[in-house]
Amino acid sequence: MQQFHQTFFEESFEGLDIMENELLNLDVGNADNESINTIFRSAHSIKGGSGTFGFTAIAEFTHVAETLLDEMRDGIRPVTQESVDLLLKSVDVMRDMLTVYKDGGDMDADNIAEVQGKLEKLLGSDSANTASAQDASANTANENSDGWLITFRPHTEMLRTGNDPVRMIYALAELGEIETKADISELPAFTDLNPEDSFLSWEITLKGDAKKEDISEVFDWVEDECDLDIQPISGASETAPSTDTVETPTTTATTTTAQAAPTPAAAQAPANTASAKKPTESASIRVGIDKVDEIINLVGELVITQAMLGQVGGEISGDESHNNSHMEKLVEGLAQLERNTREIQESVMRIRMLPISFVFSRVPRLVHDLSGKLNKKVNLVTLGEGTELDKTVMEKIGDPMVHLVRNALDHGIETPEERLAAGKEETGTLTLNAYHKGGNIVIELSDDGAGINKERVLNKARANGLVGENETLSDDAINDLIFHPGLSTAETLSDVSGRGVGMDVVRKNIKSLGGSVRVDSNEGEGAIFTIQLPLTLAILDGQLVRVGEETFVVPLVSIIESIQVKSNNLNGIAGKADLYKLRDEYIPVIRADNVFGMNNSFESLNDRLMVVVEGDGHKAGIIVDDLLAQQQVVIKSLETNYQRVDGLSGATILGDGTVALILDIPGMIEMFKEKGVPVPPAPVNPDGNGSDDIADEAA
């Protein structure tokens, strides 16, 4: 069964996401029946799968939650905020239990018992007493009954889901002595028979001391795909059987009591370990059939092109005049090969693309829980949920997004009383927006809260020795301080914030993805965090540059412009570095040959080429010897194949087989700053789009 575990876990986690989303959107007091049915079906599937694979702890816990949902579905119990909150906690418990079964580690037995106890307590109150009375009545009937009369009518499409009625009848036979009568009245003529449809139904008499719940469990997987009625024989109607029934031979089981199958040892909860394993990332991805069809078509075109080139190659001979007639076909075939290769590359990259909604879906629950804990009212708005980015990038951006949302709710949005006193609506608004810009994806998280208290941040930075007592900083520089390790303006420590590690983690994680994060804020009006990320970590649009005898790649998205250095615009900082006056600002000059120890012979920078770049909100100029071609390059990790090198983000192999190193622009600027040279932040446009439009301004 191990081969099916990964699929079970993936589908179960998806089911939990569906449950959480539907619970958050339930209208308390007037819940939509279809939403409750959706939640119930997800819980029921997880319970059934857990039981099948021997994950008994999950099955038993989910059964209790499913009972509560069943009462809501049947109208026995009203949908209250208390029950919704408890079901959300149940989702968390189920997710943790699934993670333990999947990755190993210790189960939080205390938390499981606490939540299960609350569920059972809720089930034992109010209208649940009616259900208990019904169960008691059923048990009494069971005790006074000599057996059960079961009417089982599969729906027409039940066979298509892989469920076999015969297996269920055999399962009943293990509970006691059975007698079956098949109803063939709905069976069509042979010429109209569809072998994938179910037309039969059965009336089954089960004798013995089996319990009703044991019988129901046999039909757990198909309860939504059949009509089922279970009555004690003593209370069953004595209706004569239909004239169209066929009696089947009586089947007697070798045992008369149902026994639970032993749970496979490998499927039991993992034993306690000294430390939990690190959760593994998903090793699979769901791909739309349209994307697969597109690649299949392109591969077909590639085969045709290969056949054409093979034919041309076979016709080439030693006769030069004869070969000239084939050159045009050869050139045409190579152009077609290039086009097909590029389209296949783009299609394969699209396979890894997933909508950003996979990340955004974590936020509603976070907002729901934190707003309640902080006594704040928050309205969440999400835009651009269909914007796609690489699966690897998406998996690694989740944690930074959680930090930013927690920060906005704790530090940004005020309490209802504070908002009313400031002339605002008592409900704050948190907006998530995603869109493509150039070769990147931009994620914006904005709120209409108090904004960044620049005076408090500056005072805290001075108290920590990050800023001199008499040093003055621009608003952008003060905003940038919130990303410094150990700096927090929270007045009290809590489990939400206050330890000065969250924002530092945000910047570190985003930089590791080759992205950047910027914050803009107006005090009293709110703040906006802008994350810019590459669409994929595998392909890069680059500008090839020559430094000495070596070729380097500069990411095209980092380049603002390329200029020729004029000596009258150069200004030196004694013993440190050079600054270049570019229109109305000074930018640091980085000599790539010195950074990588190449030691070129030239001394003067006059008339040399300088590529003006931007990274992490700062601009710099990199001195190079020549600008070569622009092309897409496939990124190869240096850490995997060699070791980490400061100032480099990877390497690639060029068309001639040589290796070109890819420059890490934010890393090179950081290395420059470590020399003690101040690097001014890149200007931010009033339209809020940041420094990405500087190239247009420069032009």
CB 538 within 8 A of CB 632: no
For the domain with range 355-534, which CATH number is right: 3.90.1300.10, 3.40.50.300, 3.30.565.10, 3.90.79.10?
3.30.565.10
CATH architecture of the region 539-698: Beta Barrel (2.40)
Fold of 2-132: Four Helix Bundle (Hemerythrin (Met), subunit A) (1.20.120)
Q: How far apart are CA 578 and CA 603, in angstroms?
A: 13
Mean pLDDT over 400-405 rounds to 88
Q: Which CATH topology does 145-234 take?
A: Alpha-Beta Plaits (3.30.70)
Q: Which residue has the tokens 């279809």?
A: 34
- pLDDT score of 256: 32
- Round to whole Å and give the CA distance between 625 and 593: 10
Average pLDDT score over residue span 590-603: 76
600-627 pLDDT, tens digit per residue, is: 656 678 778 999 998 766 789 999 989 9
Distance CA 622, CA 666 (A): 12
Higher-confidence residue: 359 or 266?
359
Q: Is it the case that residue 528 has pLDDT exceeding 90?
A: yes
Domain segments of the chain: what residues?
A: 2-132, 145-234, 289-351, 355-534, 539-698
Q: How would you class 92 by CB atoms within 10 Å of its CB: exposed for 0-12, middle for 13-18, buried for 19 or more?
A: middle
Give the pLDDT score at 460: 83
Q: Which residues, 6+ apart, have CB-to-CB distance to 696 below 8 Å?
A: none
Global confidence as pTM: 0.59
Burial of 133 (0-12, 13-18, 19+ CB in 10 A): exposed
Coil, helix or strand at residue 195: coil
Per-residue confidence (pLDDT) for residue 399, from 0 to 100: 82
User: C-alpha 65: how far from its chain's center?
Assistant: 25
Of 71, 65, 75, 89, the C-alpha closest to 30 is 75
| Percent of the chain residues past pLDDT 70, beyond the cut | 79
Q: Model confidence over 66-100: pLDDT tens digits?
A: 888 888 888 888 888 888 899 999 999 999 999 99
CA proximity to 400, closest of 301, 323, 508: 508
Residue listed under structure tokens 């809501």: 72
Q: Model confidence at 170, in pLDDT bands (50, 70, 90)?
A: confident
Q: Are 145-234 and 539-698 equal in CATH topology?
A: no
Helices then strands, counting H and E runs in the chain, come out as 21, 23
pLDDT at 430 over 80: yes
Is residue 234 very low, low, confident or very high in pLDDT (cuts 50, 70, 90)? low
DSSP summary character for residue 558: G
Instruction: Label residues 412-428 b or e (16+ Cβ within 10 Å = b).
Output: bbbebeebeeeebeeeb
Task: Report the alpha-carbon distance of residue 362 to residue 375 in Å, rounded.
Answer: 20
Q: Is the pLDDT of residue 505 over 70?
A: yes
Rounded CA-CA distance 351/332 in Å is 29
pLDDT digits (tens, 9 = 90+) for 658-677: 889 999 888 888 887 766 55
